[in-house]
Structure 1
Amino acid sequence: MPMIVVASVDAIRNFYVDTLGFSHVMGMVGKDGQLDFCTVVMGEARIMFMRAPGGTAAPSGKQPVEIYLEVEDVDALHKNLTKKRVAISDPLTLQWWGDRTFKVLDPNGYEVWFYTHVAEPKPPQGAKLV
């Protein structure tokens, strides 16, 4: 399970639960009344969010880590999120490696890929799977 450092666990928890449809599994509220960490889940995919250590702010802007999560039905999730007017940063695409994917950008700058494996890999011409 990835552990992602964010500036506000409360805010990112609300985005993943209320906007993307994850379920809140567990969290811990600190002395200041804010979440110190929480775990969210969608199917088998789990993510833990935690506050930056020592109260330092998490970096802003696009993050160097992308989150790649398998879901049971990527088309149904895409339809649901589109209906909720969630900004899709990369459209539904059949990737050469056999996954049907789309991406959203979360409020902390993490690109979140959702995918369902639907086909055998077909490497681009000239490439070879090893």
Structure 2
Amino acid sequence: MQITASTVSLTVDDVAASRQFFTTHLGYTEQAAAEGFASLSRDDAAVDIVLLARGIEVLPADQRDQHASGLILAFTGTDIEKEAKRLSAEGVEITMPLREEPWGERLFQITDPNGVVVQFVEWVAPSSPQGA
């Protein structure tokens, strides 16, 4: 099998709120939509996103009432400090401020209106040697 794309499907309470958040602030475009459903995509290597309303009957019965939680949708890129400033200027709350881990990971997080955590990561030279 050859994988041609990757998509994450998120079950949320308010599809319209998440759709607006991802299209307004994160550069996604709507590819398809219907009652309780939206498919979002970008022109770069970011994962596609499908938003499904909690309780929607297209999901198996044991999955219908679950809510997207306990996961982090992480995007690796460059110049995330500039991205954090842009998002903040647009009124998006930075729910975990920009920080750098000793192993060279710079990251910050935002959270969409349905509680979906979005993390931005940039890899830099570690500030201290591993194991030091």
Assess same fold via TM > 0.5.
Answer: yes
TM-score, normalised by the number of residues in structure 1: 0.73
SS at match of 1:96: coil
Q: How big is the shift at 1:95?
A: 1.8
Shift of 1:94: 1.0
Does the alignment pair 1:4 with 2:10? Answer: yes
Aligned length in residues:
118
Aligned equivalents of 1:99, 1:42: Cα separation in 2 = 25
Aligned pairs (5 A) from 1:85-100: 85-100=91-106
Distance 1:58 1:7, change over 3 A: farther
Change (3 A) 1:8 1:66: same
Percent same amino acid among aligned pairs?
21
Code of the residue aligned with 2:123 in structure 1: it is: H
Question: TM-score, normalising length from structure 2?
Answer: 0.72
Q: Which runs of 5+ in 2 are unaligned?
A: 1-5, 59-63
Asked if 1:15 corresponds to 2:21, the answer is yes
Q: Contact 1:9–1:38 (CA<8 Å) still a contact in 2?
A: no
CA contact (8 A) 1:73 1:116 kept: yes
Contact 2:17 2:114 in 1 (8 A): no
Match of 1:81 among 78, 87, 90: 87
